[in-house]
Amino acid sequence: MSKEIFTAKTFFDNLKEKRLMGSKCKECNALFVPSRPVCLQCGSTNLEWIESKGEGSLETFTVIHVPPVSLLTKAPYVVGIVRLDEGVSIMGRIIDVDPTEPEKIELGMRVKVVVIEENEKTVLAFKPFTTRST
Ligand SMILES: [Zn+2]
């Protein structure tokens, strides 16, 4: 495998196919999502692809009221940090929650990855889900 595969472009190409890809350092086992070409921990370039299950829990979030111009019509919206089950934290949009009632957004709730297309861009997002049957 060539090193080019760990670019942001290939990460988003995979994301479009609904695959959340990370890379794992073969030297020190550090894990990175999104995938990256160089290990932040030991500087090694000896990394391999791993596919995240895309499930985790919401660590923290913030409601964006003043977004970049391209997202003006979307505000307010929620951006959060999700702790994936693989043990890595990643930032993404949180959907299916009400940004006008942030007190109802539960820290630690289970979320899973969804991919949304917006302004011709692929956006990484998460939505709440429950494993319990109701
Ligand atoms: Zn490493």
CATH number at residue 96: 2.40.50
- Distance from residue 46's CA to the centre of ligand 1 (Å): 8
Residue 38 sits in the same domain as residue 64: no
Task: State pTM to two decimals.
Answer: 0.85
- Distance from residue 85's CA to the centre of ligand 1 (Å): 20
Residue 93's alpha-carbon distances to 28, 38, 99, in angstroms, are 30, 26, 11
With 0-12 / 13-18 / 19 or more C-beta atoms within 10 angstroms meaning exposed / middle / buried, residue 117 is exposed
Q: Residue 114 pairs with which residues in a beta bridge?
A: 125
Residue 71 sits in the same domain as residue 24: no
- How do residues 53-107 score in pLDDT, each as one tens digit? 999 999 999 999 988 887 777 889 999 999 999 999 999 999 999 999 999 999 9
Residue 63 sits in the same domain as residue 112: yes
Tally of structural domains, the chain:
2
Q: Rg (Cα) of the chain, in Å, rounded?
A: 16
| 134 located within any domain | no
- Distance from residue 11's CA to the centre of ligand 1 (Å): 19
- Distance from residue 28's CA to the centre of ligand 1 (Å): 4
